[in-house]
């Protein structure tokens, strides 16, 4: 699938991961998160753990000339109310040398299209509000999972509502 905004900047395609992509996704995620002061250092392992747990709901890659230059993961999230249809976005990575050229934007657009096709209620994440607000995510400190930094917890509502109470990430996130 191609995204018009991206084609203005780089000739990149977005597609679902294939079995042979696993190593490249691992390496890219490691490279992208390594310089980040907030990184736990195990983001690349998280993707493998989600996959092994059957919890990698969506794993999509951005490609440029056949090389993998971006990746996004979605996994199921739960809510204390029992409401279903929620997912966690992340980890998400763009090749360090190609950042700020629309790769992240296109991966998020692809993930959103997938969520809407599932009839999902919405999507949660912990991340920098300065980046994610442009995609419709809004700060939701009162809904933050126990142990997650509330000031970085964000929700994208796809059905105009978010239940009161805490979300939970998939157990592999610890
Ligand atoms: C976060 C990340 C995936 C974004 O991917 P990207 O391809 O660089 O982002 P895009 O080019 O699609 O950016 C979209 C917009 O956000 C802006 N932006 C990018 N990174 C930003 C940041 N860290 N803070 C604020 N704005 C940012 C861009 O300038 C762009 O704005 P524009 O469309 O008005 O020009 C990428 O920077 C990355 O891999 N970072 C390291 C890993 C990481 O931090 N992952 C997220 C953890 S929550």
Q: What structural domains and CATH numbers belong to the chain? A: 4-173 (3.40.630.30)
pLDDT confidence of residue 4 = 54
pLDDT confidence of residue 174 = 86
Q: Looking at residue 159, what DSSP letter applies?
A: S
5 lines ligand 1 (CB under 6 A): no
CA-wise closest residue to 167 among 151, 145, 150, 146: 145
Ligand 1 center–CA 93 separation, angstroms: 9
Residues 79, 112: contact at Cβ < 8 Å? Answer: no
Please tell me whether residue 15 adopts helix, strand or coil conformation. strand
Tokens coding 42: 């195990």
Give the separation between CA 48 and CA 126, rounded to whole angstroms: 19
pTM of the model: 0.94
pLDDT in tens, 38-85: 999 999 999 999 999 999 999 999 999 999 999 999 999 999 999 999
pLDDT confidence of residue 6 = 54
Ligand 1 center–CA 79 separation, angstroms: 28
170 lines ligand 1 (CB under 6 A): no
Cβ atoms within 10 Å, residue 83: 15
């Amino acid at each position: 699938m191609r995204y018009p905004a991206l084609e203005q900047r780089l000739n990149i395609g977005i597609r679902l991961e294939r079995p042979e992509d696993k190593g490249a996704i691992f390496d890219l995620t490691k490279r992208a998160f390594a310089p980040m002061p907030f990184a736990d250092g195990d983001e690349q392992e998280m993707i493998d753990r989600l996959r092994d747990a059957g919890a990698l709901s969506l794993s999509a890659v951005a490609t440029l000339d056949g090389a993998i230059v971006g990746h996004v993961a979605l996994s199921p999230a739960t809510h204390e109310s029992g409401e279903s249809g929620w997912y966690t976005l992340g980890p998400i990575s763009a090749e360090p040398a190609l950042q700020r050229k629309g790769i992240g934007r296109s991966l998020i657009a692809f993930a959103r299209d997938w969520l809407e096709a599932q009839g999902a209620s919405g999507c949660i994440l912990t991340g920098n509000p300065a980046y994610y607000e442009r995609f419709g995510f809004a700060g939701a400190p009162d809904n933050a999972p126990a142990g997650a930094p509330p000031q970085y917890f964000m929700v994208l509502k796809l059905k105009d509502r978010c239940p009161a109470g805490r979300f939970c990430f998939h157990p592999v996130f610890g």
